[in-house]
Amino acid sequence: MKRKYGYLLLESVISLTSIVILIIVLYSVFVFTINLKLRIEDKIELQQQSLEIIKSMEGIISNSMGIINVSNDEETFKKTTSIKCRYVDENITNNEENITNKEIILNERRNKLFVNSLNGENSQAGGYEIGDYVDEMYVSITNDGQYVNIKLKLSKRSQNYETKFKIKIWNFSKSI
């Protein structure tokens, strides 16, 4: 009778090959799930960021008296990096010096939206940030300036997100 005392070289090679294949499959599944998780997190962050931007822009624009620097092309979006909002009617002498015009500025180099206060046509230092990941901003004005349509394009890594929204200017003044 012959006795078997251990593994043969062939058995060792086959078992090592099957273990390596199993490890490669598990590693590729792990990498795939990590990438999927990152893409989902990026998409959610872009959606949340756009909601925060919309909320901030609605507060600024809807409380203004109108938009200063965007033409009234009905339903035609114009690419812009700045939206200037009129808060003070210059035809009426107003003693309140605390009220100034505001400007929403897209810094294309940093992909961020900022709000600055304006004195005349010059912006003051000390603005604040209202959003990240913004690549492009488009604006159109409808109903003789009472409504502002805004389209934002946001991106983070490989994820892109686009949002459109409409803002009614509650304190609209035709004198602008």
User: Contact at 8 Å (CB) between 108 and 127?
Assistant: no
Question: Taking 90 as the threshold, does the pLDDT of residue 20 lie above it?
Answer: yes
Please report, rounded to a whole number, the percentage of residues in the chain having pLDDT higher than 90.
Answer: 56
* CA–CA dist 143, 168 (Å, integer): 10
Q: How many CB atoms lie within 10 A of CB 24?
A: 10
Confidence at residue 137, expressed as pLDDT on a 0 to 100 scale: 94
pLDDT band of 47, cuts 50, 70, 90: very high
Q: How many CB atoms lie within 10 A of CB 97?
A: 7
Which of 11-20, 122-131, 137-146 is most confident? 11-20
C-alpha of 95 from chain center: 37
Beta strands in 59-169 (DSSP E): 66-67, 78-80, 82-86, 101-107, 112-119, 122-123, 128-132, 134-142, 147-156, 159-168
List of residues 6+ apart from 32 with CB closer than 8 A: none
To the question of pTM greater than 0.85 for the whole model, the response is no
What is the average per-residue pLDDT within 38-52? 96
The string of pLDDT tens digits covering residues 95-111 is 555 567 889 999 999 99
The string of pLDDT tens digits covering residues 73-83 is 556 888 999 99
Confidence at residue 122, expressed as pLDDT on a 0 to 100 scale: 57
